[in-house]
Amino acid sequence: MFFLFSKLLVFIINPLIWIVTLFFVSIYSKNEKRRKKSFFWALGFLLFFSNSFVFDEFSRAWEVPATKYENLQKFDVGIVLGGMSVYDQDFQRPQFYRGVDRLIQAVELYKLGIIKKIVFTGGSGRILHPDMKEGVYLKRYLLFMGIPEKDFFVESESQNTRENALFTKKLIEEKKVKGPFLLITSAFHMRRSLNCFRVVGLKVTPYSTDRYAGPRKFEFDHLFIPNTSSINDWNTLIHEVVGYITYKIIGYG
C-alpha cells in the first residue's frame, strides 16, 4: 500500500501538473475573477519553477555536501543505493539515468582503495514490472568494470529507501561484513537515506554524488532565461522533501 501511495504522490506533487491545471482553469472557468487569478498563479509558478538560479539555491540548501578524497578515511564497505536505471527489454540491457554517478563513483573509490567492498542495494521500483530487479541486471556491470565477485554483494529485493536500509543490514549481518561503512547515493537523496540507516541501527558515513547544485553562478541565462529542465529537477527535489517528511512521520527515518 505504501509503495502504491508513493507512486501516486509523485504525480500529485509534480509542479508541471499544478501549472497545467491552473492554465486549464484560467481558460475554462466561467468565473472571470477565478480565471484571472489562475492565469497569474500559473504564470508565476512557471517562471519560478523554470528559473535555474532559484532551483540551484534551494538544492544547495537541501543537498548534503560532497566530500573530497583527501578528507575520507578507509572504509571496509561502500553501500550504493539503487534507482539509477531501468531494463530495456528490446535491447536486453539497462538504460542508465544520471543517478548512475553513484555506481561510477563507487567503482572509482574501490579502485583508489578507499573502499574494500561494494554492496549494491536496489530491487524493482516499478508497479507493472516487479520482476525487473535492478540489483540482478547490474551485477554483470560490476563484473564488467573489473570488480571481483568476492568484493561485492547485491541486494535486489528492496523497493524503497526504507527497505534499502533494512535489507542491507540483513545482508551485512548474514555475510558477517564489518564496518566502517560509506553510504553512496545522490546528494538530494542523502538526508532521507542517512535517517533510514540510522533508524535500523547501521552507522554510515555519507558520500554524496550527482549534485544538482554546483558552484553559484551569476550568469545572465542562469539568472533570467527560463529553463524547462528546472521544472523536472524541481519535481525530483519536491518528491525527496515530501518523502523525507513522510518517512519522519511514519517512523522510517
3-state secondary structure labels for all residues of 24-68: HHHHHCCCHHHHHHHHHHHHHHHHHHCCHHHHHHHHHHHCCCCCC
Q: Which residues pair with 105 in a beta bridge?
A: none
Whole-number pLDDT of residue 10: 64
| Rounded-to-10 torsion of CA 15, 60, 66, 207 | -40
Q: In Å, how far are 17, 106, 180 from 115, measured between CA atoms?
A: 42, 8, 9
Residue pair 11/17 in contact by the 8 Å Cβ criterion: yes
pTM of the model: 0.90
Closest CA to 248 of 176, 191, 187, 173: 191
CA distance 119 to 80: 6
Q: What is the pLDDT of residue 208?
A: 98
Beta bridge partners of 178: none
Look at residue 129 in the predicted model and tell me its pLDDT: 60
Q: Which domains are assigned to the chain? A: 2-63+226-250 (no CATH), 69-209 (3.40.50.620)
Instruction: Supply 193's cell numbers.
Output: 537515506
**CB 124, CB 131: distance < 8 Å:** yes
- pLDDT at position 130 is 63
Each residue's pLDDT expressed in tens, for the chain with a length of 253 residues? 555 555 566 668 889 999 999 999 999 999 999 999 999 999 999 999 999 999 999 999 999 999 999 999 999 999 999 999 888 888 888 889 999 999 999 999 999 999 999 999 998 756 556 667 888 888 888 898 889 999 999 999 998 999 999 999 999 999 998 889 999 999 999 999 999 999 999 999 999 999 998 889 999 999 999 999 999 999 999 999 999 998 998 888 6
CB atoms within 10 A of CB 154: 20
CB-CB contact of 247 with 198 (8 Å): no
pLDDT the model gives residue 136: 86
